[in-house]
Amino acid sequence: MAPRLFDQRLALRRGWLSSGVWRFRELVDPELDEAAIVTLREGSTPLYDSSAVARWAGIEGLLLKHEGLNPTGSFKDRGMTVAVSRARRSGAQLLACASTGNTAASLAAYCAAARLACVVLAPLDGTAVGKLSQALAYGARTLLVRGDFDAALRLVRAEAARGGLALLNSVNPFRIEGQKAIVFELLQDLGWQPPDWIAFPAGNLGNCAAFGKALREALQVGLIERAPRLLAVQAAGAAPFAAAFERGFDALEPVAPSTVASAIRIGDPASYPRAVRAIRSTGGCVVAVEDAHLLEAKAVIDRAGIGCEPASAAALAGVRALVERGAVLRGERVVCVLTGHVLKDPDTTLAWQRGELEPQACGPRSGPEQIDATEDALRRALAAARARPDPPSGRSAGSGA
The contact set with ligand F0G (CB under 6 A) reads 74, 76, 99-103, 170, 201-208, 263-264, 309, 311-312, 339-340
Is 74:345 a contact under the CB 8 Å cutoff? no
Cα separation, 308 vs 366, in Å, equals 17
Cα 218 to chain center, whole Å?
21
Using CA atoms of 93, 99, 104, 110 in order, give the dihedral in degrees to the nearest 10.
-60
Contact 238, 257 (CB under 8 A): yes
Residues 171, 273: Cα–Cα separation, whole Å: 12
Tell which phi-psi region holds residue 362, choosing left (phi > 0), alpha (psi between -120 and 50) or beta: beta
Q: Please give the Cα distance from 153 to 325 (Å, whole number).
A: 36
Q: Where are the beta strands (DSSP E) in 84-124?
A: 94-98, 117-123
Helix (H, G, I), strand (E, B) or coil at 70: coil
- Tally DSSP H helices, then E strands, for the chain: 16, 10
C-beta of 268: minimal distance to ligand F0G in Å?
Answer: 12
Nearer to ligand F0G, 6 or 348 (CB): 348
Q: Which is nearer to ligand F0G, 16 or 242 (CB)?
A: 242
In the complex, what is the shortest distance from the CB of residue 108 to ligand F0G, in angstroms, rounded to a whole number? Answer: 12
Minimal distance, residue 206 CB to ligand F0G, in Å: 3
Q: Is the dihedral of CA 342, 346, 350, 351 positive or negative?
A: negative
- Between 239 and 264, whose beta carbon lies closer to ligand F0G? 264
Instruction: Write down the least CB distance from residue 180 to ligand F0G, Å.
Output: 12
Residue 130 or 195: the one with the smaller Cβ distance to ligand F0G is: 130
Q: How far apart are CA 385 and CA 36, in angstroms?
A: 54
What is the widest separation between alpha-carbon atoms in the chain? 67
Pick 58 or 203: Cβ nearer ligand F0G: 203
Least distance to ligand F0G, CB of residue 67, Å: 8
Question: Which run of H or E residues covers position 173?
Answer: helix 173-189
> Smallest distance, Å, CB 401 to ligand F0G?
27
User: For residue 262, which of 371, 395, 123, 75 has the smallest C-alpha distance?
Assistant: 123
Between 203 and 307, whose beta carbon lies closer to ligand F0G?
203
User: Which of 136, 142, 127 lies closest to 109 in space, CA to CA?
Assistant: 136
The least distance separating ligand F0G from the CB of residue 168, rounded to whole angstroms, comes to: 10
Residue among 102 and 393 whose Cβ is closer to ligand F0G: 102
> 3-class DSSP state for residue 3?
helix
> Containing H/E element for 232?
strand 229-235
User: Which three-class secondary structure state does DSSP give residue 383?
Assistant: helix
In the complex with ligand F0G, the residue whose CB is nearer, 201 or 400, is 201
In angstroms, give the least distance from the CB of 97 to ligand F0G: 7
At closest approach, how far in Å is the CB of 132 from ligand F0G?
12
Residue 207 or 396 having the CB closest to ligand F0G:
207
Is 289 in contact with 318 (CB distance < 8 Å)? yes
Nearer to ligand F0G, 50 or 103 (CB): 103
Identify whether the C-beta of residue 338 lies closer than 8 Å to the C-beta of residue 301: yes
In the complex, minimum distance from the CB of residue 362 to ligand F0G, in angstroms, rounded to a whole number = 24
